[in-house]
Every structure is written in C-alpha cells, then in structure tokens.
Amino acid sequence: MPNLGRICLIVGVLLLAGSAAAEEEWPPRKSDFSIPIVFGPEGSGGGVGYYFHDLFGKKSRDLYLHDTFTNTAYKQLMADFQEPDLLLPRSLLKVRFLYLNRTGIHFFGIGNNTDMDDAAYYGAEIYSGLISYQVSLGPGLGIGGGAEYHRTSHRDGLLKNPNFQSGIDELDRPISEVYPALYHSADFRFREFTHNWFVTVFHNNLDQPIFPTRGGYEQFRLTRVDESMGADWNYWRYSAEAAHFFQAPNNYNVLGLYARWDRLDGRYLPFWEYPALGHARISLADYLDGNGLRGYWENRFQEKNRVLGSIEFRHRTRAKWFPKDKFNLGKEHQPSQKPRPKWLPERKPLGLTLQEFLLNSSTLVFVDAGQTWGDHDPLNQIRVTPGVGAVFYFKSGIAMRMTVGFSDELTAYQLFTYWQAF
C-alpha cells in the first residue's frame, strides 16, 4: 500500500527516539498536553487534548479534555472526569461526555458469512453521557454500575470520492444504494436512542496499567437497554473479558493472552450494535466497542454472538546499552561560567527534551482469532489474523498504537488507535 512505506519510516524514527530517551523506571503520570493524529478512511487530521492529573492536589482525581477533527468533517469532543474515594473508601466515580461525528462507518450486512460485494458506508453523529460508580471489595476485586444516555443519529454516506481502499470499489458505495430498505426504515432514520444501565463485576491485579508485565484482569458486564429509560429498544447485552500477562523472560519482554465473549439478547436489535469481528478504525479509551480482529475492516461479520482471542508478544524498546553521556541524558545541566543575559532562556540538553515528549515505546507481534454466529449457526467459521505493530507511551498516560494486520481479505490493514489492544 502507498502509505505503508511512510508509516514504517515514522515508526522507525519514533522507536529510535524512544529508545534513546527511555528512562530506567516507568515514569509517573503527570498533567500534560496530548496531540492525537488521525488518518484513515475518515480523513487525515489531528487535535489537541489536556490531561489534568491529581486535580487540585487530590491523588487520582483526573480530568481529560479532548478535541479531534479531520478534513472530512470527522469530529470528536470528549470530557472525561474521575473522582476517587467519594462516599466510600476505595471507590471511584466516573463521568464522561462525548460527541462524535463519523463520516465513514462501514456496514456489510448482518451475518458471519457476508460478502465484501455487499459493503456500504454511512455517517453518524453520536451523543453520549455516562456516569458510573465502582467500589473495591478486596485485593483487586470490585463491583460497579452506572447509566448512559446514548443517541446515534444516522445519515447516508456523503463523502466525495472516499477511496477507502484501493482496488475495493465496493467500499465506496453509500448505504442508500446497497441497502435501500434499511436506509428508508425507521431503524435507520428514527430509532436513535439506546439509553442503558449496566452492572459490572471485575478483578484486576495488573502491576501497571499502561505496560503491564504481570497479573491480569477479568470483567463481566450486564447491560440493559430499555424503553423505560427513554430508549427506542429493549434488549440485553452480556460481555465477559479476561487478559493475563507473563514476563518472557523479563519485564521488557511480555506475553499477553486475551479472551472476550459478547451476546445480544432481544427480539429486535439495532443494526449498529451487533458485535463484529473487524477491529474499530477509530478508537479512544473505551467509549466504543474497539475490540476485534486487527486484519478485518471495522464492522466486518456482525452477529448476535461473538468470541475473540489474542496472543500478543510485546518488547519494550530501550537502549540500556546506550551511553547516557553521549547526549547528556539524565545529567544535570552545568551552566557556563560566562554570565548569561537575563533575556536568554536557559538551554536544556537535547536528551531531556526528548524525555519530555516520548519516554518509551514497544514493538509487538500478535495473532487474533475469533468468530461471530447467530443462535442457530454452526461454530465452524473461525477466522485468524496475524500482524505486527508498535506502541508509543507518553508522560500523560496515553498509549498510541499502530498495527498492520493480515487476513484472507486484506493485506497490510493499518490501524492507528489509542490505548493498548488489551
């Protein structure tokens, strides 16, 4: 693909900088700017965000403000706040507001054996407001619950010459052309609200959240979308996931194992809520279902039931052999004996500047496998996608992930998202 060479060059440069500027110990999170970069089917662009960590001096009271946009009118606005130890010790209150204008969401039909010839795309505006509260009951064990206001307003695909994938012309067709009955239905035009409440039981004993080297987490969530809350639908969603990490053989080389199961249960279901095998192209934190096989298009193979599994080997890139004195890394700045004019700012070594921007990185190889199925379908359509990638870590606590996956449908499928895959 034409962009693959440029991506590899950027990855190589960032890995070199990250390796040279790596610190011996994992740095604490601090208040800092984030500058997200977006490229893909919904255009190219960026944005700006700011993490306020330990707001007003209270540990773990965090606020994140974020704005992202592209040249195709894709836009994302988010405010995410958390308050620890409210009412109860070892508790956590979370409040999140999100606006998302998507310009190129793909739809392939519902089923575990749909054809790429049936691909189409559409746009949507998403409005979400969520509040949740969780309490730790013991070492790593806890329960939580919350409620969400969620509206998804759909529209036809309106991009001019979207060119989603060279050589796959079917991806460029608007949904009104491929699925006219769905486009004119009440499900697409009017039934927008999926307000819900949810209950979560979890266990988490990870040694660190950004680059875990030991431990794991397990979580089960029960979600109810109900008309009594103002929703246009009535259904249940069940989700369970687990991940575990092992040093192989030290904390710079980590083997991660991941598994997930999802099920929708209801007589009538919104077409955009079906679990899919394809991995989301646009993903930040956990506001949308970003799980999937990293070698298939987003929303590929949607059905009521889904099971996923991943094996990922992560190597934390560091130049432990690199002499710190070469770039004066980690050394105190020694001012010149010559008097410095007051208007001239004090210079800092190049290495410290790199440390302020990019502290660490990791390379990875992975294999994803999974299947979706209807209630009466056989379990004989398991699909597998191998791939490679890199993750870059920043002081504010963000992990930026780039992967290239391979499948029987796509070669070098590129993903550019935030946070770890699991």
Q: For residue 249, say if its preceding peptide bond is cis, omega within 30 degrees of 0.
A: yes
Question: Roughly what angle, to the nearest 10 degrees, separates helices 4-20 and 350-357?
Answer: 120
Three-state SS for 273? helix
Q: How far apart are CA 277 and CA 280, in angstroms?
A: 9
Give yes or no for residue 350 having a pLDDT over 50: no
pLDDT confidence tier of residue 28, bands split at 50, 70 and 90: very low
Per-residue pLDDT, averaged over 118-139, amounts to 93
Q: What gap in Å lies between CA 89 and CA 91, rounded to an integer?
A: 5
Q: Has residue 30 been placed in a domain?
A: no
How many whole angstroms separate alpha carbon 216 and alpha carbon 141? 12
For residue 57, tell me if it sits in a domain. Answer: yes
**What sign for the dihedral angle of Cα 416, 100, 45, 123?**
positive
The model's pLDDT over 194-235, given as tens digits with 9 standing for 90+, comes to 999 999 999 999 988 777 889 999 999 999 999 999 999 999
Token pair for 224: 């109810």
Q: What is the CA radius of gyration of the chain?
A: 23
Range with lowest mean pLDDT among 1-5, 92-96, 156-160: 1-5
Within a domain: 97:
yes
> Is the per-residue pLDDT at 59 higher than 80?
yes
Domain count, the chain: 1
pLDDT of residue 334: 40
Range with the poorest average pLDDT among 153-167, 247-261, 302-316? 153-167
On whether residue 99 sits in a domain, the answer given is yes
CATH number, domain at 397? 2.40.160.50
The pLDDT score that the predictor gives to residue 48 is 82
The predicted structure's pLDDT at residue 122: 94
- Which one has a higher pLDDT value, 101 or 35? 101
Please report which confidence band the pLDDT of residue 381 belongs to, taking 50, 70 and 90 as the band edges. confident
Tell me which residue of 214, 119, 121 sits closest to 161, measured CA to CA: 121
Give the distance between the most distant pair of CA atoms in the chain. 82
Percent of the chain residues past pLDDT 70, beyond the cut = 77
pLDDT at 282: 62
Q: Which domain holds residue 263?
A: 4-25+35-418
Calculate the average pLDDT of the chain. Answer: 81
At residue 323 the predicted structure's pLDDT band, cuts being 50, 70 and 90, is very low
Residue 262 lies in a domain: yes
- Average pLDDT for 117-137: 94
What's the average model confidence in pLDDT over 118-126? 93
Bigger pLDDT: 353 vs 341? 341
- 43-52, 275-284, 293-302, 348-357: which has the minimum mean pLDDT? 348-357
321 vs 19, 245, 324, 326, 350, CA distance in Å? 10, 26, 9, 12, 19
Domain-embedded: residue 105: yes
Q: Find the mean pLDDT for residues 406-416.
A: 83
